Structure 1
Amino acid sequence: MLFSTSPGLRAETITLIGEDDWYPYSALKNGQLQGFAVDVIDAAYASVGVKVQFVAAPYARCLMLVQTGQAMGCFDSLNDAKLGQEFVFHKEPIFKAVIGIYARADAAAQKITVAELKGHRVGFTHGYTYGDEVEKDNRIFREDAPTDISSLRKLLLGRSEYSLVYTRVVDYLNAFYASELQGKIRQVGIVTEDKLFVSFSKLRPEAARYADLLDKGLQTVRANGTYAVLEKKWKNPAL
């Protein structure tokens, strides 16, 4: 990873689980967990003398392992009403990201709000949360899918009317699955621009300390310019 400190400063090591299929934020590529979130977390902890070993897993399993105390932390998570009760969170976000509302290109809707999703079948990715406004509205009919690309495929097949996916993830999927997606889906709304975090286990007594250390590290890399360098690096990620 980039921006490591001198070997003598990294006196301890922790293991964190990152989602294996959420590029450009976190994904398993060429046998290694890669992405913007991975680099930011690594750099932040390096600045406070902690080395991170990254493990990849599907997001739902990532959360389960942390919730049951089998792992220290999972990323990338929303600190919403649901997850906020189940995990320990740091205060400084890893990054902010926009959740978009997507429809088929030939759909009648030109613009839609979250409130207008009620009564419609909407694509969700299994294990993800989408903010309190969505999660608390049981009038939205959920069409779950194992991954974001599966959710968009269900949208194209007519199994859902809308799909909720982060906009930068859609940008990547549009390029990687160009023959399937390009020109066939379009963004018709925004759920929210939200902050993403590492969710730490409440069953690990050391979790609060590592959450605090991550806050300190994130403040450091934002102040010293490292964060800006990583943002530029991941602005146009390789396929």
Structure 2
Amino acid sequence: MKQWLFAGLWLMWSGVCSAETLVIYGDDHNPPKISVTSAGSANGILVDMMERVGERIGQTFEFRLLPWKRAYHEAVVQGAGLILGVSWSTARESMLDYSEPLFTDRLMLFVRQGERFDYQGVSSLRGKRVGVKLGVFYGEDLERQVARRELQVAVAPTQKHLLRMLLQQRIDVAIIGPEATTGWNLIDADPVLQARKQEISVLAEPFQMDVNYLGLPKNLDMTQQKREDLLEAINQALSDLRADGTMQEIVTHHGL
């Protein structure tokens, strides 16, 4: 029954899709989720997932990976394409239609060795200088506390920069993800960080569990019916990829 349902959705979507290529925007430097390789191609967990989705529904995607803030602006504000790896927020809900979840990002707190603390929520960060990546949404609780000037944040273009700032004592906490593995891999890949690896520690308690989605901007040049058909086909493909183990295979392939 499920196979017939998926076949019906594929025929429904392919009937309106033709040979049109859809552009997907995303972050160019957020490994292992999504990044640009040295050869200039798109790579990562989310890219692989959407390529599998495209195969299942007969849709070609073109990935345009840019610094996150620019990627978000071009996709969501200008309506130039879909946006990959976006988090949910109340403000964004008015601008985006969300897919089913693609990946849950466990964001971790990196600190200097000897400066560990008991993390019990965002309020635990008060009095500390918190490093965040430019353009990334870290949850409404953090946003509210920053707006009220209850938290002090410093912004960096990449997570590698955040870890360097931590060693330079420009921040007290760096929010890094997904998983602690990502932070340690960034440290091992950078000679400056690797030489001082023993000075860095990570808290056991995650900062938050951040669910990543594919977003369809509501100002995209696409009819409402076509948008609904596309989203339904994508969601069915994601459900099937999750059920048959493909999603977990992709995550494992990228070291998580």
TM-score bucket (shorter structure):
0.7 to 0.9
Which residue of the other structure, out of 81, 87, 96, is the alignment partner of 1:87? 96
The one-letter amino acid paired with 1:233 is H
CA root-mean-square deviation: 2.2
Residues 1:208 and 1:117: Cα distance change in structure 2 (over 3 Å):
farther
> TM-score of the superposition, structure 1-length normalised?
0.86
Please give the alpha-carbon distance, in whole angstroms, between the structure 1 residues aligned to 2:162 and 2:231: 32
2:111–2:202 CA contact under 8 A, matched in 1: yes
Please give the alpha-carbon distance, in whole angstroms, between the structure 2 residues aligned to 1:184 and 1:201: 43
The one-letter amino acid paired with 1:46 is E
Deviation digits for residues 101-147 of structure 1, max 9, x if unmatched?
1111232x333232211232110111001122222212111101111
The one-letter amino acid paired with 1:14 is L
2:162 matched to which residue of 1?
Answer: 151
Runs of at least 5 residues in structure 1 that lack an aligned partner in the other structure: 1-8
- Tell me the number of residue pairs that the alignment of Structure 1 and Structure 2 aligns: 227
Post-superposition shift, 1:208? 4.5
1:60 matched to which residue of 2?
Answer: 69
Deviation digits for residues 136-175 of structure 1, max 9, x if unmatched?
2121111011111111111111111111111243132123
Post-superposition shift, 1:213? 2.7
Residues 1:85 and 1:169: Cα distance change in structure 2 (over 3 Å):
farther
> Is 1:218 matched up with 2:234?
no
1:6 matched to which residue of 2?
Answer: none
Q: Secondary structure at the match of 2:53?
A: helix
Please give the alpha-carbon distance, in whole angstroms, between the structure 2 residues aligned to 1:70 and 1:135: 25
> Is 1:160 matched up with 2:142?
no
Q: Secondary structure at the match of 1:123?
A: strand
2:5 matched to which residue of 1?
Answer: none
1:121–1:143 CA contact under 8 A, matched in 2: yes
Bigger share in helix: 2
The one-letter amino acid paired with 1:147 is T
> TM-score of the superposition, structure 2-length normalised?
0.81
Bigger share in strand: 1
Please give the alpha-carbon distance, in whole angstroms, between the structure 1 residues aligned to 2:60 and 2:184: 31
